[in-house]
Chains A and B, each alone.
Chain A
Amino acid sequence: MQLSREKLLDAYTRMRKIRVFEETMRDEFAKGTMPGFVHLYIGQEAIATGVCIELDNNDTIASTHRGHGHCIAKNSDIEKMTLEIYCRADGLCGGKGGSMHIADLSVGMLGANAIVGANAPIAVGAALRQRVEDNNAVSVAFIGDGASNQGGVFEAMNLASVLKLPVLFVFENNGYGEFTGVDYHCGGGDIAGRAKGFGMPSYKLDGSDFFAVQETTAEAVKRARNGEGPTALECVAKRWYGHFEGDPQHYRTKDELESIRKNNDPLVIFRTKVEEAGILDAKDLDSIDNNVIDEISSALEKAKDSPVPDVKELTKNVYSDDLGGQVA
């Protein structure tokens, strides 16, 4: 464990924020207080955090429809995020993005993406800064096991490899592409092996273990900044809930769900490791837990009380100059 105490506290805070935020969204969705679809990141906290802890503000990430965790791990403002998910005027995107299209460019979060796998080419584009203007920013695409079958993802890996671009392809294998198991949908079953075929280093690791993700990411980021090209990480973790909230999950048993939550809790795994190593104690971590709960409940109250977008906003920002399609 080479991370400083400060960085470990930071990592734990980000993971706990993701957990509490998503539990809150789950409760509120069940109560019917929020619009749209919600896809929870619980069970995968160590992946977003293990990757983003190694990034600077200038580095970018391109996210998925399951994007709340990526936003939080990239240090997006919790209150503005909550407002956006509630589609409020003062949300990150003015309420027009919502949960599946949330973005925070101020921290290099280039957007959740409701088109599965479409973010991978976009991440490659952000990495072109290294080639065009010698900017060493690194770019990350988070890609689900379901998205790993999309043609655009293969095109993106090939282009990044051919142009030697500073991209991390982070495959989050959570066992299911929507309702369909990875054993069924992934030909050959070896996501990391496919990436290796494009000529980049590729690793399969335990995505429930923050340290496994963070250490591999640190190495990949170093290579990327040095102009040595892309790396792939297949992080195997467990999705604690359905594809979206409301998914009855007929495709898996109660036993599986109970076992996952008991044995694959990234926060418990993290706490056990740092406490056993004697770096952080339970008191430090419990106090983070309490602060996080307060921060998120206050963001939620704010979101519920905030104004919705003015109807005049409907046709605004279609273009940057607000010229409509038919206005001269």
Chain B
Amino acid sequence: MTIKTYREAIIDAMKTEMERDEKVFVIGEDISGGRGCGDYEGEAAGGPMGLTQGLWEAFGPKRIIDTPISETAIMGAAAGAALVGLRPIAELMFSDFFGVCFDQIYNQAAKFRYMYGEQAATPLVIRTMVGAGIGCGPQHSQSPHSIFANIPGLKVVMPSNPYDAKGLLISAIRDNDPVIFCEHKALLADKGEVPDEAYEVPLGKGTIIQEGEDLTIVAIGQMVGITLSCSEAFSEKNISCEIIDPRSLSPFDENIIFDSVEKTGRLLIIDESNPICSFGSWIASLVSQEVFSSLKAPIKVLTPPHCPVPAAPNLEAAYLPDSDEIILSSVNMVNYK
């Protein structure tokens, strides 16, 4: 067991799988950080956030493929490569850019299996950075995971820690369907224990991070860490929380949440989506349909407001759900009569 960052865990997963399977390759903008251009002999930066660092040196330009800034071509080429049996990892540098290439993701890659039947498989991973918190403003900070989860044919995962980042990415690369792998930019430097060897965290399995009796909290991505930071306050207020990280939004482990709500009778969901049709509201809908009689209080969904992500740091802080809101909501739910 080694201590690694979330970023290193992601690189580790790609390296492991590229060594194991020659059909795996990475394609995207600046993924070799200039080394793709030919004569430049400096260190390959591995993208603006260093998420492909070291891969060019290990695998060279045939499998670490720098592209022009052409997201439609990248996503379409990755879809086509998957359709003929390669196993592409396509990098969509910031998830906000899905707006320029979504046709290739949702009309093409996501539908090949269904449109063409069993003759087709689409083993494609789209790695993409999501999330607010580091001042990138309206077009580099969004969390469109709810939009992705709405599309039949796509699988969607969002790891909240380095261990899950490596294990989920390995599972995604080995999976035969298109997987949107959401990397939260505010978590890239977070550290945790990560085994050196390859291991899978299965798609579609949530995890109970902390067991509790009074209240179920479902937190997604960056919201997991913010929830854990409330632990002391929860103890002070004598609230026993069961904290669940779904990790995978599609397929989604609904049973882990139903079981927990049947025990606690209360559900707080914390999701970085915008509120309308958010993934959090889908969880609330499922729980109210399936385990309504267990509920002792109305379900609460905490999300940012229905507005873009602002650049001003104070406004961005106000945009994101924070520990004060989580604690207040939890207290209100436990005291609900």
Give me the interface of A with B, judged by CB distance under 8 Å.
60, 62, 92-94, 96-97, 101, 103-106, 110-111, 113, 115, 118, 120-129, 131-133, 137, 139, 151-152, 155-156, 158-159, 162-163, 317-321, 323-328
Contact = CB atoms under 8 A, between A and B. Distances in A.
Interface in B290-334: none
Contact of B80 (A123, A133, A155): A123
A124 to B, nearest CB: 5
Nearest to B253: A328
Contacts of B284: none
A99 to B, nearest CB: 12
A122 B120 contact: no
B70 A319 contact: no
B77 A122 contact: yes
B76 interface: yes
Nearest to B61: A131
B255 interface: yes
Given A110-B80, A326-B286, A159 B252 contact: no
A195 B25 CA distance: 28
Nearest to B176: A320
Contacts of B43: none
Contacts of B23: 132-133
Nearest to B251: A323
A160 B103 CA distance: 19
Contacts of A320: 113, 121-122, 176-177
A321 B176 contact: yes
B83 interface: yes
Interface string B145-174: 000010011010000000000000000000
B152 A115 contact: no
A147 to B, nearest CB: 13
25 contacts: A93-B116, A101-B115, A103-B120, A106-B119, A115-B107, A118-B76, A122-B108, A124-B76, A125-B81, A125-B88, A126-B80, A126-B83, A127-B80, A128-B27, A128-B65, A128-B88, A129-B84, A132-B25, A162-B67, A162-B68, A317-B117, A317-B118, A318-B153, A323-B251, A328-B256
Given A122-B79, A155-B72, A60 B84 contact: yes
Contacts of B62: 131-132
B75 interface: yes
A158 B69 CA distance: 10
A94 B117 contact: yes
A92 B117 contact: yes
B70 A103 contact: no
A311 to B, nearest CB: 15
Contact of B65 (A103, A111, A152, A163): A163
Interface in B9-27: 22-23, 25, 27
Interface string B116-137: 1111111000000000000000
A40 to B, nearest CB: 21
B72 to A, nearest CB: 4
A151 to B, nearest CB: 7
B32 interface: no
A151 B81 CA distance: 20
B86 A155 contact: no
A115 B115 contact: no
B191 interface: no
A106 B176 CA distance: 18
Nearest to B67: A159
A158 B250 CA distance: 34
Nearest to A162: B68
Contacts of A317: 113-114, 117-118
A320 to B, nearest CB: 4
A60 B175 CA distance: 24
B73 A122 contact: no
Contacts of A118: 76, 103-104, 107-108
Nearest to B156: A325
B80 A122 contact: yes
Given A96-B115, A137-B84, A320-B121, 14 more contacts: A101-B116, A113-B108, A122-B108, A124-B77, A125-B77, A125-B84, A133-B23, A156-B77, A159-B68, A317-B118, A318-B152, A325-B251, A328-B252, A328-B255
A94 B120 CA distance: 12
B83 A105 contact: yes
A319 B75 CA distance: 19
Contacts of B203: 323
A158 B72 CA distance: 12
A129 B113 contact: no
A96 B114 contact: yes
B251 A121 contact: no
A325 B79 contact: no
Given A110-B83, A132-B25, A328-B256, A152 B117 contact: no
Contacts of B251: 319, 323-328
Contacts of B74: 159
A121 B72 contact: yes
Residue of B107, B113, B118, B152 with highest tally of chain A CB at under 10 A:
B113
Contacts of A324: 251
Nearest to A152: B72
